[in-house]
Chain A
Amino acid sequence: MFTRRETLMSVAGAAVVAAMPAAPAAAQEAANIAKLPRKKVTLVQPPFVHEHDQVAKGGPKVVEFTMTIEEKPVVIDDEGTVLQAMTFNGSIPGPMMVVHEGDYVELTLVNPATNEMPHNIDFHAATGALGGAALTDVNPGEEVKLRFKATRTGTFVYHCAPKGMIPWHVVAGMSGTIMILPRDGLKDEKGKPVRYDSVYYIGENEFYIPRDANGKFINYKTLGDSFPETLKAMRGLIPTHVVFNGRVGALTGKNAMTAKVGQTVLFVHSQANRDTRPHLIGGHGDYVWEEGKFANPPAKDLETWFIRGGSAGAALYKFLQPGVYAYVNHNLIEAAELGATAHVIVDGKWNDDLMTQVSAPGPIRTN
């Protein structure tokens, strides 16, 4: 008899055996990389993004990141519903990394001994070895270092992909985003530079919390305990929560995003598992890289943009009116009932030319 944990571990262990170590890189290439400047970046909690240059200064670098995997229960709504979560660096979504095309991403992935599960990381931006997953399997108490070259520009999802239980790890919170900027920055459809004053990173997740016989969400004692029924709920494909940044209301109220009239904001939106359709109520997407890949010209003046499950997109918007904007998944049931609503608080002068209330609501006149 195996305990549940042993069973879970042995499934992941098979993946480790199957993954052959990478062929040694040519000595010359290694020497070249060794000569590159290195830069250590401390990641920050979403919706914020670490400081970065929009236009690269100097040549390619090796950019070092460290992420520690944290398994922990997290509250995902105002009713106190608990998700037995798995996270990159403690947040849902995992933090966003920013590098430039031609840079090398060097990630140290730490799986502390306090965790129950083996984990790894699949970068959609990386080439080979299942996006790095086959080279990064770490059991509790281990760490691993992966380096990959940022060869394609755009916003890309990363997620945990342990063999046999990929979807569970992903819907339990293990996904994030990396943005690889062109060395000369973003450009419009004519190749003219496009810049942003700030960037917000929205990670959308859908959760599948099992219910008891009375319809109440079950609060499991451990991650392992939550697995069998969560899998059953997942197979129904109907999420109980659809949220931005890990919980209902994570980006509202005191934690609402902010901007000023005249400022340009880049909204990066990722969904590792399921299609979504961001929409800024009362605003637009001036330039939108729906698929998130900057080698393609941005679409212009979009009302709603489509983010394919398993991808991250980017939308750039210059705010023209003050007010309280809602940034939603425009499946409005998911926005209003399941949680996929964020707010942007925008200060500044009202533009009467763009909109005015010609006469205030009052009784209907008969003459």
Chain B
Amino acid sequence: MKLQAASVAAISVLAIAAGAALLQPSHRAAPSLIQTVTIKPAYFAYRLPGEFLADGRVVDAARFDASPRHPLEIMTYQVSAAEYAACVADGACQPADSSGAAKDLPVTGVSYLDAVRYAEWLSSKTDESWRLPTDEEWAFAAAERLGDDALGNADSEIANPAARWLTAYRERNAREGRDTLPKMRGHFGANSRGLYDIAGNVSEWTSTCYTRTHVDAAGKSVQRTENCGVRVTGGQHRGYMTNFLRDGKSGGCAAGMAPDNLGFRLVKDPAPSFARRLWQGMARG
């Protein structure tokens, strides 16, 4: 009994100390002035990324109604060249291979690994919790600008694997704009959720790994392999890029169309509740 009371007292002393430290963030942490959009949970039509095989042939992933469980707070704009340069100046990020030097261009010529480093740096700078969106979150935020990468499951393809390659090639050509020079942020306008430049000419990294899924006749996943060396990118069309590549063009195979540019925007996770911060503080302390 006594022992228990003593330990409770000890915890509360610790908690007060930890709480005080958290309530008075001193050193480097400064809240960010980064513009974000917060989107309330809602349903949207979604297909999982990756490759799906039924009976050994490639098929479209099933489309279903997905919804995030919590509100999603995401950057209004792609991370700019200037914002990224601050991380480089701090020694936390590698210089980007961007072609443009203008400060208000989105940063391009960055790999998945660069984007993750930037998110970590930004989080430590702001004492906020920044990370890349998942493919599902990106798709949700893209709203009406989300392209459907389904190619149809025509019967003719059963006997002809080339049919799908040809459809994919033509599909992508039809969407070809071919002005690949990055534009000032805002150039491609806002979507219905208030996010700018979604599906412009800069594809955005997501944290989702490439997967290959075998499905049964009912469309249920029966086996799955995951390759996190390749991550999903969101843009005019969904892409799959090796995580250390900075130039989409070098990532495509000889007969594929690659993304024009690689950049990113980040998601901000809600600040932990007071109780959670307390708990984290204790865990640290």
Contact = CB atoms under 8 A, between A and B. Distances in A.
Given A347-B166, A350-B160, A325 B255 contact: yes
Interface in B148-173: 159-163, 165-166, 169-170, 172-173
A304 to B, nearest CB: 14
A363 to B, nearest CB: 6
Contact of A349 (B160, B181, B223, B250): B160
Given A78-B178, A350-B159, A359 B165 contact: no
A359 B250 contact: no
Interface in A52-111: 78-80
B216 interface: no
Given A79-B99, A328-B254, A359 B169 contact: no
Contacts of A254: 173, 176
A191 interface: no
A349 to B, nearest CB: 6
Interface string B87-124: 00000000000010000000000000000000000000
B160 to A, nearest CB: 4
Contacts of B56: 357, 359-360
Nearest to B247: A337
Contacts of A345: 166, 169-170
A74 to B, nearest CB: 15
Interface string B211-236: 01010000000010100000000000
A335 interface: yes
B102 to A, nearest CB: 13
Interface residues of A, number: 31
B255 A326 contact: yes
B255 A363 contact: no
A197 interface: no
A359 B170 CA distance: 27
Contact of B255 (A281, A349, A359): A281
Contacts of A357: 56, 161
Contact of B180 (A79, A326, A328, A349): A79
A183 interface: no
Contacts of A253: 172-173, 176, 178, 257
Given A78-B260, A359-B56, A360-B56, A321 B255 contact: no
Interface in A314-348: 321-326, 328, 335-337, 341, 343, 345-347
Contacts of B176: 253-254
A218 to B, nearest CB: 15
Interface in B119-159: 159
B190 interface: no
B53 interface: yes
B213 to A, nearest CB: 10
Given A360-B53, A362-B225, A324 B159 contact: no
B87 to A, nearest CB: 21
A352 interface: yes
B57 interface: yes
Contacts of B255: 281, 323-326, 343
* A326, A346, A360: most-surrounded residue (chain B CB, <10 A): A360
B169 A80 contact: no
Contacts of A335: 254
Nearest to A328: B254
A362 B214 contact: yes
A350 B162 contact: yes
Given A324-B162, A326-B254, 6 more contacts: A322-B166, A323-B165, A324-B166, A325-B255, A335-B254, A362-B225
17 contacts: A256-B173, A322-B160, A322-B162, A323-B165, A324-B162, A324-B166, A325-B255, A326-B254, A336-B250, A343-B255, A345-B166, A349-B159, A349-B160, A360-B57, A362-B223, A362-B225, A363-B223
